[in-house]
Amino acid sequence: MEESRIVLGVIGSDCHAVGNKIIENVLSREGFQVVNLGVMVSQDEFIDAAIETGAQAILVSSIYGHGEIDCAGFRGRCLERGLDKIVLYVGGNLVIGKREFSEVETLFKDMGYDRVFPPTCDLTEVASNLKLDIKARI
């Protein structure tokens, strides 16, 4: 099977580069071709990269608590640009203040994200889910 291409980055004004590099490393070892856009990435930069590379998934990371603002409308923008089959994941510390993760997960799924991950999660599990979700969309 051909390697799946994914676009990875940290959205908005967030600049946590270390976690982003760890995610890139693990997903590369799991067999993905990772296009890492780095930090402070806009929604349009994610979408442009996905279109240019033919990516099957976009993984959005945010750890500074403003993910709820930065990620709003992302699925709609993907649809407008023809990425109706793109797998869309988001993870990190996505909201300001303490909220139950189940509440955060519901919020982001309602925004159109396929899967939502807390700040600490098993990246091999993320990779397994990603392989299944990409296969289901092809």
**Angle in degrees, 0-180, between the axes of helices 123-137 and 17-29, rounded to the nearest 10:** 60
The alpha carbon of 100 is separated from its chain's Cα centroid by a whole number of angstroms, namely 20
CA–CA distance, 16 with 75 (Å, rounded to integer)? 23
**14: annotated active-site residue:** yes
Active site residue 44: no
Which of 16, 48, 66, 133 is flagged as catalytic? Answer: 16
Calpha distance 95→14 (Å, rounded)? 13
DSSP 3-state of 30: coil
Tell me the C-alpha distance between 104 and 51, whole Å.
Answer: 28
Q: Catalytic site residues?
A: 14, 16
